[in-house]
Amino acid sequence: MGSTLKNNKHFILGLLFTGWLLDYLDRMVMSVAVVAIAKDFSLEPGAVGAVLSSFFAGYAIMQIPGGWLSDKFGSRKMLIVSIIFWSIFTVLSGLAWSLISLLVIRFLFGIGEGGYPSASQKAISDFFPKKERAKASSTMMSSNSFGLALAPLVAAPMMVWMGWRLMFIVMGVLGIVMAIIFWKYVRPEKERAISSEEQTANKVPMKTLLKSSVLWKIVLMWFGADILVWGLAGWMPSYLVDVRGMDILSIAIVAALPGIASGIAVVVGGRLVHKFFNGREKYFTGIGMVFASVCLYFMFSSDSQFGVILFFILSMTFASTAIVTTFSLPHKLLSKEVIGSAMGIVNMGGQVAGFLAPLVMGFLISGFGTYTAAFWFLIGGGILSMIAALTIRDKENGIGAKEIESAAK
């Protein structure tokens, strides 16, 4: 049975998906917990933004090294080490005694989680043939949205029942259990058969990746989209409490709805791109980010709670179009030997946005006394993502095509 599961690519995909859920759960519960933490530590909005951003500082720093380490040492080792590392610092988050300690712990927590994205994408290339990787990656990355949905649903009741400290400790222990499961079942074959398509694929040196204009456009597209996504994910619980007068358990349900809708949208979007937008992914994301930005404006302009909730859901759902394109194109355009490094570069852009968005929003909220300027900042991120997406000219054979030819000479 165990051997069968180790060779079952769909079971491995399920494990990777679950690992991403835990990854997002451990990071996103802070958005809910920070409401109570701010009271316990007497934090101002600027300090709250720093707490939310400290994770992303470590996470962004680790993206490119994490991709390189995944290519060098393999997906299995990086997956297990990453889960253990972040689980330890999840436990320590519950033991924080001051603002400084919390900032340091969350920064190191981000370092721990930073190895998982590239390792999980590397695992997709280890277990799936090239033609199936884009779809498998889209399915796996839908976990990002479902994780956003699950976090408030789990965090709010746990905070009410056991407090934020014990909540972090319990979740850290669950991570150790997950690492053991990965150690037992995720075992890529050392000498996998390489398809004829893979044999003819171009090998892309790291220096060529860094020179690829198309890859950097994808990075910029993901950066802009994540400004919007992480800004909303980090500050919406506080906004709903402070401005819209909702209680902590009510916002748990509200905050979960966009994640559920986005997760479904990513799964469906991956199929739509495969069927109708193959080679035209930039239009799928460009149009989606326009709608995401418009819906965000209607969200904070709405006079009713229903309008806020509806447009919050729609904005996050349309923003999910960037997930589909960002994590499917590299699998179409690059050989498996460098997919970890490429995904590390791409995801770095998103995590820099994750660091900046909550921090900048905190200072804008403090400076202007309202959330309006902060939400306009997020709209700017959506517009940037749209522009970056629509400037991508090259298609399936396009990432660094000229550079690859030059490198091969």
Helix 321-333 / helix 116-127 crossing angle, nearest 10 deg:
50
Pair 126, 192: CB distance under 8 Å: yes
The per-residue pLDDT for range 166-193, each reduced to its tens digit, is 999 999 999 999 999 999 888 876 534 4
Domain of 114, CATH number, reads 1.20.1250.20
Interval 301-309 mean pLDDT: 88
Local confidence band at 405 (pLDDT 50, 70, 90 cut-offs): very low
% of the chain exceeding 90 in pLDDT = 22
Mean pLDDT comparison of 138-152, 289-303, 313-327, 348-362, highest-scoring range: 289-303
Q: What is the pTM of this model?
A: 0.69
Q: How many residues does this entry show for the chain?
A: 409
On the question of pLDDT at 389 being above 60, the answer is: yes
pLDDT at 404: 40
Q: Which two tokens stand for residue 298?
A: 């209607």
Q: What is the Cα 129 distance to its own chain's centre?
A: 24
Rg of the Cα atoms in the chain: 20
The per-residue pLDDT for range 188-210, each reduced to its tens digit, is 765 344 444 444 344 555 666 67
pLDDT at 403: 47
In which domain, by residue range, is 302 found? 2-186+202-408
pLDDT at 108: 93
Backbone phi, psi, residue 67, to 5°: -65, -45
pLDDT at 154: 80
The per-residue pLDDT for range 317-346, each reduced to its tens digit, is 898 888 777 777 776 666 666 666 777 788
DSSP H helical ranges for 186-212:
196-199, 206-211
Q: What b/e string do you get for 74-85 counting C-beta neighbours within 10 Å, with b at 16 or more?
A: bbbbbbbbbbbb
Neighbours of 303 (CB within 10 A): 7
Any idea which of 84-93, 232-241, 281-290 has the lowest mean pLDDT?
Answer: 232-241
Of 125, 135, 122, nearest to 266 by C-alpha is 135
CA-to-CA distance for 62 and 71, rounded, in angstroms?
14
In a domain, 230, yes or no: yes
The per-residue pLDDT for range 85-107, each reduced to its tens digit, is 999 999 999 998 889 999 999 99
Q: Which two tokens stand for residue 117?
A: 């994205």
pLDDT at 84: 94
- Count of the separate structural domains present in the chain: 1
CA-to-CA distance for 237 and 255, rounded, in angstroms?
7
Neighbours of 280 (CB within 10 A): 12
DSSP state of 129: -
Of 17, 28, 25, nearest to 230 by C-alpha is 28
State the average pLDDT for the chain. Answer: 80
Q: Which two tokens stand for residue 93?
A: 């988050």
In a domain, 195, yes or no: no
On the question of pLDDT at 296 being above 90, the answer is: yes
CA-to-CA distance for 236 and 255, rounded, in angstroms?
8
pLDDT at 338: 65
On the question of pLDDT at 306 being above 70, the answer is: yes
In a domain, 191, yes or no: no
In a domain, 192, yes or no: no
Q: Which two tokens stand for residue 253?
A: 């349900």
Of 184, 181, 186, 197, nearest to 119 by C-alpha is 186
Sign of CA dihedral 326, 380, 320, 46: positive
Q: Which two tokens stand for residue 268?
A: 């469906």
Any idea which of 161-165, 225-229, 348-352 has the lowest mean pLDDT?
Answer: 348-352
In a domain, 245, yes or no: yes
Of 141, 130, 263, nearest to 198 by C-alpha is 130
In a domain, 334, yes or no: yes
Q: What b/e string do you get for 367-377 counting C-beta neighbours within 10 Å, with b at 16 or more?
A: eeeebeebbeb
Of 267, 264, 112, 252, nearest to 176 by C-alpha is 112
On the question of pLDDT at 397 being above 70, the answer is: no
In a domain, 393, yes or no: yes
Local confidence band at 364 (pLDDT 50, 70, 90 cut-offs): very high
Pair 78, 118: CB distance under 8 Å: yes
Pair 372, 245: CB distance under 8 Å: no
Any idea which of 20-29, 44-53, 147-156 has the lowest mean pLDDT?
Answer: 147-156
Pair 131, 197: CB distance under 8 Å: yes
Interval 70-94 mean pLDDT: 90
Q: Which two tokens stand for residue 80?
A: 């297990």
Mean pLDDT comparison of 4-18, 118-132, 276-290, 370-384, highest-scoring range: 370-384
In a domain, 221, yes or no: yes
